[in-house]
């Protein structure tokens, strides 16, 4: 039986209710929502609206119409960044970002958007005062992750939110590693734009993502098309969420996402986080006992999400993950994890890291087996 | 039991194998494809590659890497149009297009892209010579549908393809109403860019779309992010399909789409089309017998896809579809169907139409029941 420790890429398994919601949607009311007026189409529309409402409960969002469905977090981040930033604007980001944040920012350079990358520490930690110091007259946006996908390092989003508010700058948060696990309150944390994948901590199917857009923020739309609204017009309608949601949505995926969020709300976010924290603490403590293993990041379960990056001596990270998979049936991810700047920050740009990412369905036994495997690999390498 | 005649919006039901493929993917190998190297991730990657290959077989495409997965046909059309057209370019389209074509073209006007809308006849038919006549020095692209989503009218794509080739202009085809039903050969028809939804004739789940890009055509990418390739680079990689496919794909959806195409290939495209043509011919012939019904489009099953638009006298189209749904359990779509220009072309911009769209799983009995319902509605209205 494969031990899946690649939950930072996508969570697996999903709650049984998610599989069932997808199947029931496709079989029972697989019509096009918001297009036609017949019963099946209305049922499909209701399933989508219900997921919007559940997201509102989870993130303390007022109006379900401010939740936009996208195809993944990358899609959400592109819409947020390109929707907000214009030539002459300045954006601040961090050195721990994923390429889904960095690459759109680099492409915006071509149209004259400036950026500053604030350097984080070697454990991936961010000093919020460095963000304050980077704010310029033309700073429009601070765009940052909530937790690193390499080291799990949790970022001081609420503190940055205060600074952003004080300075009249917008805050975009990439919650790819935290949504569904850590408490995110867009009001308390003063988040203006919140991007998240549906298929990680939110436990929905792949092919789903969300973007929360604070009331009053108008983004340039990235694509135009049929919205089922204002059909008489050749121009993209202004009303939300239609303005940003052209074409047929991923109805079964969104229905499944709704079931995932219901699972989170009924299980309790605190219980989910506690479970992941316990396993992270356990794994960190066991890892520290193995000679030859270098652990990156804060090495403290209160300062990091359930993501642990390591290396064994100078061993190629891909080689280690290959052996974990082939010999020990432990699924992890190695290499740069689409986050080259973060690897530069922690000093692993050449070697990459072997990343263990823990999910709610992992057990203490899974961690013990992974630790046993690592011990054996280390012994082999020492011999 | 609801009679579903809204297949132009999305096909329903899907083949059993599609539901199963989605479920098996989520439960069996629900990892992130192309990101990690472990077995489950490789299985996910293989499922996606297999669907690319199946699409190649269906459309006579050489290289599976030239098939891009998107979230729907609107996404595909936006990528194609905005990827190709730059300030100063000219694009030709038709008056029968869906808003997924027209709205992006209108938005490109803002950055200085010119367009010409070639007028079609009142039955939605296009004279290819009008396309030739519209070609200017700066014409870069002809962008047109393969069949109208209002009247089903089939467009002379192959003839336009010849003209395009002759004149050195690119051809983008929107196959939303034809892919999976009509033979589409990108070589024979000289199609450079082919956009299609996965969830209509291709019988896959919602949340899927495709764009074929002919070898040698380089599009501006619409979004950047993690691709699992060239992770060391802060810039979007150049290699296809990664260049256009950032972020986690809809793996279960794409696996389901693969099962849908396998169903089409094993059933036979000709058999699928023949069945839909037969039902269309039958419905048209029965409709013609009902007094008070006005039929739009060619009224000839050899000249139209399985889409039939009608009106009853001056009756509001939404009212008719409402009664069909509530009283007779017949699901259709009314209104403008996101295609205002097409309704202007056929003279129904005010009234809209009641659209019956037939799928492979409809039966002669379904058509007869719909006809019976329409007869009763007409009698009521006459009384």
Which residues, 6+ apart, have CB-to-CB distance to A231 below 8 Å?
Answer: B99, B335, B336, B337, B338, B339, B340
Q: What is the band of A81 on the pLDDT scale with cuts at 50, 70, 90? A: very high
For residue B197, list chain A residues with Cβ-Cβ distance below 8 A: 247-248
Q: Which class for B127: exposed (0-12), middle (13-18), buried (19 or more C-beta within 10 A)?
A: middle
**Domain final residue pick, A267, A284, A315:** A267
B202 with B280, same domain: the answer is: no
pLDDT score for B382: 63
B50 with B161, same domain: the answer is: yes
Partner-chain residue, chosen from A32, A208, A331, that has the shortest CB–CB distance to B36: A331
Average pLDDT over residues A193-202: 98
DSSP track, B67-132: EEEESSHHHHHHHHHHHH--TT-EEEEETT--HHHHHHHHHHHTTT-EEEEEPP-TT----HHHHH
Across the interface, whether the CB atoms of A207 and B78 are under 8 A apart is answered no
A164 with A53, same domain: the answer is: yes
Q: Which class for A329: exposed (0-12), middle (13-18), buried (19 or more C-beta within 10 A)?
A: middle
Q: Quick one: DSSP state of residue B178?
A: T
pLDDT score for B150: 97
pLDDT in 10s for each residue of chain B, 383 residues: 899 999 999 999 999 999 999 999 999 999 999 777 899 999 999 999 999 999 999 999 999 999 999 999 999 999 999 999 999 999 999 999 999 999 999 999 999 999 999 999 999 999 999 999 999 999 999 999 999 999 999 999 999 999 999 999 999 999 999 999 999 999 999 999 999 999 999 999 999 999 999 999 999 999 999 988 888 899 999 999 999 999 999 999 999 999 999 999 999 999 999 999 999 999 999 999 999 999 999 999 999 999 999 999 999 999 999 999 999 999 999 999 999 999 999 999 999 999 999 999 999 999 999 999 999 999 987 65
**C-alpha distance from B292 to closest chain A C-alpha (Å):** 23
B302 with B213, same domain: the answer is: no
Between CA B121 and CA B108 the distance in angstroms is: 26
Between CA A342 and CA B43 the distance in angstroms is: 28
**Domain final residue pick, A267, A301, A336:** A267
**C-alpha distance from A326 to closest chain B C-alpha (Å):** 8
A183 with A71, same domain: the answer is: yes
pLDDT in tens, B27-79: 999 999 977 789 999 999 999 999 999 999 999 999 999 999 999 999 999 99
B303 with B339, same domain: the answer is: yes
pLDDT in tens, A246-255: 999 999 999 9
Before A364, cis peptide (omega within 30)?
Answer: no
**Domain final residue pick, B267, B297, B326:** B267
Across the interface, whether the CB atoms of A231 and B335 are under 8 A apart is answered yes
CATH number of the domain enclosing B109: 3.40.640.10
Average pLDDT over residues A115-127: 98
> Is ipTM strictly over 0.85?
yes
pLDDT score for A231: 86
A147 with A127, same domain: the answer is: yes
Q: What is the band of A46 on the pLDDT scale with cuts at 50, 70, 90? A: very high
Determine the residue of chain B that is closest to A81 in CA distance: B223
Task: Indicate if the pLDDT at residue A45 is higher than 70.
Answer: yes
Q: Which class for A225: exposed (0-12), middle (13-18), buried (19 or more C-beta within 10 A)?
A: buried
pLDDT score for A382: 64
B224 and B204 Cβ atoms separated by less than 8 Å:
no
Lowest mean pLDDT among A23-37, A248-262, A339-353: A23-37
Which residues, 6+ apart, have CB-to-CB distance to A270 below 8 Å?
Answer: none
Task: Indicate if the pLDDT at residue A380 is higher than 90.
Answer: no
Tokens of B61: 């495409």
B170 with B215, same domain: the answer is: yes
Average pLDDT over residues A132-138: 98
Between CA A47 and CA A144 the distance in angstroms is: 31
Looking at the complex, does the CB of residue B67 fall below 8 Å from at least one CB of chain A?
A: no
Across the interface, whether the CB atoms of A252 and B207 are under 8 A apart is answered yes
Determine the residue of chain A that is closest to B232 in CA distance: A340
Cα separations (Å) of B260 from A329, B251, B270?
32, 14, 16
* Cα B194 to the center of its chain, rounded Å: 10
Write out the catalytic residue numbers of A.
338
Between CA B122 and CA B145 the distance in angstroms is: 16
B243 with B227, same domain: the answer is: yes
Average pLDDT over residues A295-323: 97
Residue A314 structural domain: 3-12+269-382
A322 with A217, same domain: the answer is: no
pLDDT score for B119: 98
Of A98, A309, A57, A338, which is closest to residue A180 (Cα–Cα)? A57
pLDDT in tens, A323-339: 999 999 999 999 999 99
Average pLDDT of chain B is 96
Task: Indicate if the pLDDT at residue A165 is higher than 60.
Answer: yes
pLDDT score for B162: 98
Which residues, 6+ apart, have CB-to-CB distance to B123 below 8 Å?
Answer: B151, B153, B296, B297, B298, B299, B346
Task: Indicate if the pLDDT at residue A383 is higher than 60.
Answer: no
Task: Indicate if the pLDDT at residue A228 is higher than 90.
Answer: no
**C-alpha distance from B253 to closest chain A C-alpha (Å):** 7
Beta-bridge partners for B172? B143, B193
CATH number of the domain enclosing A316: 3.90.1150.10
Partner-chain residue, chosen from B26, B100, B223, that has the shortest CB–CB distance to A19: B26
A181 with A275, same domain: the answer is: no
Between CA B34 and CA B371 the distance in angstroms is: 50
pLDDT score for A346: 96
Chain B segment 194-253 residues within 8 A of A by beta carbon are 197, 199, 205-209, 221-228, 231-236, 246-253
Chain A segment 128-167 residues within 8 A of B by beta carbon are none
pLDDT score for B125: 98
How many domains, chain B? 2
B315 with B252, same domain: the answer is: no
Between CA B334 and CA B348 the distance in angstroms is: 11
Interface probe with B: pick from A37, A85, A320, most Cβ of B within 10 Å: A37
A380/A298: higher pLDDT: A298
């Amino acid at each position: 039986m494969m031990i899946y420790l690649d939950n930072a890429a996508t969570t697996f398994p999903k709650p049984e209710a998610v599989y069932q919601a997808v199947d029931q949607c496709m079989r029972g009311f697989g019509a096009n929502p918001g297009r036609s007026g017949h019963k099946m189409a209305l049922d499909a529309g209701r399933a989508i609206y219900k997921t919007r409402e559940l997201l509102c409960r989870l993130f303390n969002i007022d109006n379900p119409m401010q939740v936009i469905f996208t195809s993944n977090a990358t899609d959400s981040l592109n819409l947020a960044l390109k929707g907000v930033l214009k030539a002459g604007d300045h954006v601040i980001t961090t050195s721990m970002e994923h390429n889904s944040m960095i690459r759109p920012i680099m492409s915006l350079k071509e149209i004259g958007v400036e950026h500053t990358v604030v350097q984080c520490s070697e454990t991936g930690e961010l000093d919020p005062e460095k963000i304050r110091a980077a704010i310029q007259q033309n700073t429009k946006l601070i765009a940052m992750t909530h937790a690193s996908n390499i080291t799990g390092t949790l970022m001081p989003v609420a503190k940055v939110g205060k600074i952003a508010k004080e300075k009249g700058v917008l805050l975009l948060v990439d919650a790819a590693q935290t949504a569904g696990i850590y408490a995110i309150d867009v009001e308390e944390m003063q988040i203006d734009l919140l991007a998240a994948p549906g298929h990680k901590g939110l436990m929905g199917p792949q092919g789903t993502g969300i973007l929360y857009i604070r009331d009053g923020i108008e983004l340039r739309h990235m694509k135009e098309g049929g919205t089922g609204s204002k059909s008489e017009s050749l121009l993209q309608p202004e009303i939300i969420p239609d303005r940003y949601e052209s074409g047929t949505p991923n109805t079964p995926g969104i229905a499944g996402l709704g079931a995932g969020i219901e699972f989170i709300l009924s299980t309790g976010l605190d219980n989910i986080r506690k479970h992941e924290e316990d396993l992270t603490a356990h794994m960190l403590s066991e890892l520290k006992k193995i000679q030859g293993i270098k652990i990156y990041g804060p090495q403290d379960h209160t300062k990091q999400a359930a993501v642990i990056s390591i290396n064994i001596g100078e061993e190629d990270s891909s080689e280690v993950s290959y052996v974990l998979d082939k010999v020990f049936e432990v699924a992890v991810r190695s290499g740069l994890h689409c986050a080259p700047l973060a690897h530069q920050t922690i000093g692993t740009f050449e070697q990459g890291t072997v990343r263990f990412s823990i999910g709610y369905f992992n057990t203490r036994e899974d961690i013990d087996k992974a630790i046993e495997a690592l011990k054996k690999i280390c012994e082999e390498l020492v011999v």
